[in-house]
Copies of this chain bind each other. A is one copy, B any other.
Amino acid sequence: MALGAGLTASVGVKPANAATTADLRGNDHTWLYRRLDPVTAANRAFRDYLDGHCMYGVFNSIIGELADQYGEPYSTFPTAMFTYGKAGVVDWATLCGSLNGAAAAISLLSKDSDPAITELFRWHETVALPDFRPADATYEDLGSSIAGSPLCHVSIVAWCEETGFKSFSKERSERCGWVTASVAKKTVEILNAQLDATFSAAHPFSDSKNECVACHGKGGVIENARGEMECMTCHGLGDRGNLRETHPTKLKF
């Protein structure tokens, strides 16, 4: 029996390499999502983080859990590959690894993945994290901070400045495990909400971002940029921002 045929038989999905363009665009490549418990996923994500860092932590807390409960096809996924996402991809501090792992899991399991990922990213950008203390935590309290960004670098700096801990401290390392747990919990909540058809985006874009996009985004007179990240985290007028007094006075914020 061909391996691809086995996958098809077990959950009624096609192996990826049989996908056509229409499949790719229609999300017909997804594997069946089966309801998980958000707190179970969060606690597992922390343990998986200790094994394989942040991206692996979130991804394996979902796909690994489905594998343990249901076997194939979930158990065929080489989840350990996602160790690459650690610290924003092998320490580059680009995209937060827990978000990268969550986006990968959502893409694999959700039939409407784009709004689910965007809601998760906006939540991560705007709420104080970590917001979950794992059962196997070493510390009692590690504080929290609002990253204002999906980027590892920005998130780490915000938390270090908020709490006073250093960026290579044991506390920071555990804090990232708690963030991994927090993101896993939120991801499963979103997947469950989609399963129940109760999902809606609760974290809209900011007024300031909408104003930037009016000129710099699609159809704007400048149209020289793209992206859903909050603009003012890096481009504000404050200490971290690079906006100059010479920017057009249309700017209201």
Q: A residues engaging B (CB < 8 A)?
A: 1-4, 6-7, 15-17, 19, 21, 23-24, 29-31, 51-52, 56, 64, 67-68, 72-85, 87-95, 99-100, 103-104, 106-108, 113-114, 117-118, 121, 150-153, 156-157, 160-161, 166-169, 216-219, 223-229, 234, 239-242, 244
Question: Is there an interface contact between A150 and B92, defined as CB atoms closer than 8 Å?
Answer: yes
Given the interface contacts A3-B72, A76-B4, A168-B223, does A24 sit within 8 Å of B93 by beta carbon?
no
Stoichiometry, as copies per complex, reads: 2
Which residues does chain B contribute within 8 Å of A95, judged by CB atoms? 88-89, 94-95, 100
Which residues does chain B contribute within 8 Å of A56, judged by CB atoms? 24
Closest to A51 in B: B21
Question: Is there an interface contact between B156 and A24, defined as CB atoms closer than 8 Å?
Answer: no
Q: List 18 A-B contacts (CB under 8 A).
A: A3-B72, A7-B76, A16-B79, A16-B80, A17-B68, A19-B80, A30-B81, A84-B113, A85-B103, A87-B227, A89-B150, A90-B114, A92-B121, A94-B94, A95-B100, A152-B227, A167-B217, A234-B234
